[in-house]
Copies of this chain bind each other. A is one copy, B any other.
Amino acid sequence: MALGIGVIGVGVMGRRHADNIGGLAPRARLLAVTDSDAEAARSTADYLGADWYANADDLLARSDIQAVVIATGSDTHAELVVKAADRGKDILCEKPLALTVPDAERAAAAAEANGVRLQVGFMRRYDPAYKEAFEAIAQGEIGHPVLFAGISRDAQPPPRSYFTGAGAGGLFIDSGNHDFDLARWLMQDEVSSVSASGGIVASPELADVQPIDVGLATLTFRNGAMGTVALYRRAVYGYDIRTEVLGTEGAVMIGGHTKHAVRFLRPGRSTSEVQMHWLDRFAEAYRLEVADWVQRMATDRPPTITATDGVRAVQLSVAAEESRATGRPINLPTY
């Protein structure tokens, strides 16, 4: 029997999830989509052969939908998770789980209370390069991990309207949420304190709506390991995601600038195309993420990335922003 799936929010991210679910037939079936932009919902539904609704409640009311993907604006994630959980749906929620710690905790609690499974969309964990790194670390190939370095750079900031909308969470949560999750996952430890700073270095025209375009965080882990997360909204040259984990016996480095295995050589310079978009860089990760999640939901197994992972990442993002704003290191609670 195919798993009936609904997708809530069909912007660029939700549309990608919906497409990928199409590729999982006959084990999964995209039954319906919804979006605050009804026209987007309708055209996506038509293209993919699904139903559409103008609001999420109608989609959630369908009993043949067992699982939903939430890919709306970040400010609505928590509320939609609660609603979906109340309707008994299993959930794949895009990151961040919420924009505040209380909201994230509320979402996690609702899933727990209703006995539904909630996975948070940290798709980098599914990227074959990250996965290989994780497995090598877990098998002790670099000894004990002691130093983490995460770089996340967007080519260009989102449009001005993004920052004035309710969905913007600030650099440490919009972009940093991924790195904080990677830090916990790859270092196999929880963070005990965060110290962060930031500033506007290249986006003066956005300074009135975003406090920083560079965000720099230093992490201390419970076991004494340390780490850095460096975020930047305007790398210009490309979308640049790199992570290093140094251990007592070696190191692993993930990521690079080259998009394809193709180089052009001309007098004086060799050139290669740089990755420009996250949907290109992580196309395979998104495919594998939704395939794994569908497989687990269909076979009654727990999700790979839990609600707690989502809460922890929000805690770290919020702590980084608080540290930046106050100029003080922030200690994390000892959960």
> Interface of A with B (CB < 8 Å)?
22-26, 48-49, 128-130, 132-133, 136, 141-143, 146-147, 149, 151, 153, 155, 195, 197-202, 214, 216, 218, 220, 224-226, 228, 230, 232, 234-238, 246-274, 276, 327, 329
Contacts and interface: CB of A to CB of B under 8 A. Distances in A.
Nearest to A258: B270
Contact of A250 (B23, B214, B265): B265
A48 B28 CA distance: 11
A149 B257 CA distance: 16
Contacts of A248: 202, 234, 236
Contacts of A255: 261-262
Nearest to A253: B263
A270 B271 contact: yes
Given A25-B25, A146-B201, A264 B276 contact: no
Given A199-B226, A236-B251, A250-B266, A271 B271 contact: yes
A149 B262 CA distance: 14
A251 B224 contact: no
Contacts of A130: 262
Given A201-B147, A218-B216, A267 B238 contact: yes
Given A133-B262, A201-B226, A255-B261, A272 B269 contact: yes
Contact of A266 (B22, B201, B236, B256): B236
A259 to B, nearest CB: 8
B264 A274 contact: no
A230 B136 CA distance: 24
B199 A237 contact: no
Nearest to A130: B262
A121 to B, nearest CB: 20
A230 B151 CA distance: 13
